[in-house]
């Protein structure tokens, strides 16, 4: 895990990688269940995925790394993926962040 207060998503992404920006919309923020869903999504693809948020760069396959971002509702995260299935991985992970259970919507 890398930490810096001056992280630019374009500077931090590996050369040739794809990026996607998502916003944490879940009222509970980036919690354990959501992190597990991200990790499970990442494992389906042949891609190295990182998440940039709150001054940190973490491996999207690490539950503890994702939790360490401590993203509250409204936090913007940059997803970066590199590999043969990077586009599909980013789409699937973005859908994980977009999916909010009906009981959580006020």
pLDDT digits (tens, 9 = 90+) for 16-31: 689 999 999 989 999 9
Please give the average per-residue pLDDT across 3-11, as a whole number.
47
Please give the Cα distance from 30 to 61 (Å, whole number). 14
pTM equals 0.79
Does the pLDDT of residue 77 top 60, yes or no? yes
pLDDT, position 106 = 43
Coil/strand/helix, residue 12: helix
Selection from 96, 72, 74, 94 nearest residue 19 by Cα: 94
């Amino acid at each position: 895990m890398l930490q810096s207060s001056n992280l630019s998503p374009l500077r931090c992404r590996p050369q040739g990688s794809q990026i996607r920006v998502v916003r944490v919309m879940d009222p509970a923020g980036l919690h354990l269940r959501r992190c597990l869903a991200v990790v499970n999504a990442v494992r389906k693809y042949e891609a190295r995925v990182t998440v940039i948020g709150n001054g940190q760069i973490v491996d999207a396959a690490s539950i503890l790394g994702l939790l360490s971002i401590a993203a509250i509702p409204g936090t913007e995260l940059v997803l970066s993926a590199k590999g043969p299935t990077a586009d599909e991985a980013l789409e699937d992970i973005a859908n994980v962040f977009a999916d909010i259970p009906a009981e959580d919507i006020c």
